[in-house]
Amino acid sequence: MSADIQHFIDGAVVKGTSGRTKDVFNPATGEVARQVALASKAEVRAAVESAARALPGWAATPPAKRAQVMFKFRELLIKNHDRLAEAVSMEHGKTFDDAKGEVARGLDVVEFVCGIPHLLKGEYSDNVAAGVDSVGIRQPVGICAGITPFNFPAMVPMWMFPVALACGNTFILKPSERDPSAPMIIAGLLIEAGLPKGCLNVVNGDKEAVDALLHDPDVGAISFVGSTAIGRYIYETGCANGKRVQALCGAKNHMVIMPDADMAQAVDAAMGAAYGSAGERCMAVSVAVTVGEEAANSFIEKMAPKVRGLKIGPYNDSAAEMGPVVTQESKDRIERYISEGEADGADVVVDGRGLSLQGYENGFFVGGTLIDNVTKDMSVYKDEIFGPVLSVVRAKTYEEAKDLVIGHEYGNGAAIFTRDGDTARDFVRDVNIGMVGVNVPIPVPVAYHSFGGWKASLFGDHSIHGMEGIRFYTKLKTVTARWPSGVKEGAVFNFSGGSDV
């Protein structure tokens, strides 16, 4: 069976030649929907060579003209919004509304880089010494690559390549082989927007393609979003091969609920943050830390019926609030964690194991799960489950709750729900977390700020998109210049074409 989804190299769809393919599933039915070609090292090299040919011309293109391509790309994304969302939903399984929100968050970054002429403005210091001026300018890194995860197949690539391209780089995208259709659509839209061929190439593949990018001497920078284990490997291997690397990795995001919190607001926030996108996102709230028994009991009492009432179904069910997880392996792993938590002594208040929907009996569905009396030594607390599972840890004091956040190996996101400004301020200042919310459950920064965690949630010195993204995809050059004073004798100035000497 030949692959339905190929590669996008040098401005066109290119048929894979490796002979290797991988099944792409419909998570709602459990059936194989299509197949994707897996790139060989030679095919990755062809993409690199295409990017290398395109680089000089694109890097020399004025930022204002690069911005014009991004403006046109923005228009095409808006026009094809639902088409992209459907491609995401069909292969990932998330609800159509979730998928539309994903495309919109990627679009935000495209809109941000439409201002690239302003964002690339350099620094200037006049007369740093007698007759000497100093100028700082930012120039493209060169050929950049992005390795992106299955959970946001449209948004995460658009957190990378629009910034890289706007800065004058060329880009090679290696999307997840689990849901590769949306990136291929996006690549075609960029060509339609006027991006020169070779500036963006898409190679579908697995570890063979990843290793080819990590070891290719012409690739200057690697962006990655995914698990911590793979992120550490990519960071260490990429750096060992002389590349700059940003690797955004795993998370275990805590939501601290103080006794004075608006409990109705906290419960509504936890529902969306824990179960949206079936919990398959690095900013999902997977731990609720209640402070005091009264707050804990109130939270469980109000939360449990809402979790039981979650409407679960395929993406094309307009009533569905949560879809399936992405693969059978994911379903099995999530249910195993629930069982481990139960065996360790936690109370499974709402159990999502064994869910079967009529007509979708073979789908990868896991019901919303709420686990109470979780302790920090349990695997259900320590590990990133990446599924619709919310663990509740009962803390006696605010300091105990804060120490849980500080002591966890991950540092991606955290939130606190309270009416007390002093407590919120202390939490924001003290926690060693990259993104913090105050009465906001998923503190994902807007596109003109930057996204990134601390500790084991980020390897590298730069977060993604925003000004951190601009800095990652450019290199700083500082020029110190002295010019002879006065005008050379015999100089003739021609204002239509410069000066003549």
CATH of the domain at 42: 3.40.605.10
Q: Judge if 237 and 287 occupy the same domain.
A: no
What strand order describes the sheet that includes 369-372? 347-350, 369-372, 389-395, 285-291, 253-257, 413-417, 435-438
Reduce the DSSP state of residue 93 to 3 states and report it.
Answer: coil
Q: What is the pLDDT of residue 259?
A: 98
> What proportion of the chain, given as a percentage, has pLDDT over 90?
95
Q: Judge if 237 and 323 occupy the same domain.
A: no
Q: Is there a domain that residue 25 lies in?
A: yes
Q: Is there a domain that residue 448 lies in?
A: no
Q: Judge if 97 and 223 occupy the same domain.
A: yes
Query: Domain with 397 in it: what CATH number?
Result: 3.40.309.10
Q: Is there a domain that residue 484 lies in?
A: no
Q: Judge if 226 and 283 occupy the same domain.
A: no
Stretch 353-382: mean pLDDT, rounded?
Answer: 97
Q: Judge if 349 and 399 occupy the same domain.
A: yes
Q: Judge if 262 and 242 occupy the same domain.
A: no
Q: What is the pLDDT of residue 485?
A: 75
Q: Judge if 203 and 327 occupy the same domain.
A: no
Q: Judge if 63 and 164 occupy the same domain.
A: yes
- CA–CA distance, 381 with 378 (Å, rounded to integer): 5
Catalytic residue positions, numbered:
282
Residue 487, pLDDT > 80, answer no
Confidence of residue 495 (pLDDT cuts 50, 70, 90): low
**pLDDT by residue (tens digit) across 125-179?**
999 998 899 999 999 999 999 999 999 999 999 999 999 999 999 999 999 999 9
Confidence of residue 499 (pLDDT cuts 50, 70, 90): very low
Residue 75, pLDDT > 60, answer yes
Q: What is the pLDDT of residue 498?
A: 47
On average, the pLDDT of the chain sits at: 96
Please give the structure tokens belonging to residue 409. 């190996």
Reduce the DSSP state of residue 337 to 3 states and report it.
Answer: helix
- CA–CA distance, 354 with 404 (Å, rounded to integer): 31
Residue reference for tokens 């689990």: 178
Please give the structure tokens belonging to residue 445. 């920064």
**pLDDT by residue (tens digit) across 100-140?**
999 999 999 999 999 999 999 999 999 999 889 999 999 99
Stretch 424-452: mean pLDDT, rounded?
Answer: 97
Residue 287, pLDDT > 90, answer yes
Q: Judge if 14 and 33 occupy the same domain.
A: yes
Stretch 80-103: mean pLDDT, rounded?
Answer: 97
- Domain of residue 299 covers 253-438
Confidence of residue 3 (pLDDT cuts 50, 70, 90): confident
Q: Is there a domain that residue 2 lies in?
A: no
Q: What is the pLDDT of residue 361?
A: 96
Q: What is the pLDDT of residue 486?
A: 63
Q: Is there a domain that residue 300 lies in?
A: yes
Q: What is the pLDDT of residue 501?
A: 36
- CA–CA distance, 66 with 71 (Å, rounded to integer): 9
- Domain finish residue from 383, 406, 438: 438
Residue 493, pLDDT > 80, answer no
Q: Is there a domain that residue 284 lies in?
A: yes
Q: Judge if 304 and 178 occupy the same domain.
A: no
Q: Is there a domain that residue 490 lies in?
A: no
Rg (CA), the chain: 25
- CA–CA distance, 124 with 375 (Å, rounded to integer): 55
Q: Is there a domain that residue 140 lies in?
A: yes
Could you tell me which residues come within 8 angstroms of residue 480 by beta carbon, excluding any fewer than 6 positions away? Answer: 128, 132, 133, 134, 135
Stretch 309-320: mean pLDDT, rounded?
Answer: 96
Total domains, the chain: 2
Q: What is the pLDDT of residue 484?
A: 80
| Sign (positive or negative) of CA dihedral 484, 486, 487, 493 | positive
Q: Judge if 377 and 466 occupy the same domain.
A: no
Please give the structure tokens belonging to residue 121. 């403005």
Residue reference for tokens 């302790």: 375
Stretch 381-397: mean pLDDT, rounded?
Answer: 98
Q: Judge if 338 and 424 occupy the same domain.
A: yes
Sort 454 into a burial class: Cβ within 10 Å, 0-12 / 13-18 / 19+: middle
Stretch 50-70: mean pLDDT, rounded?
Answer: 98
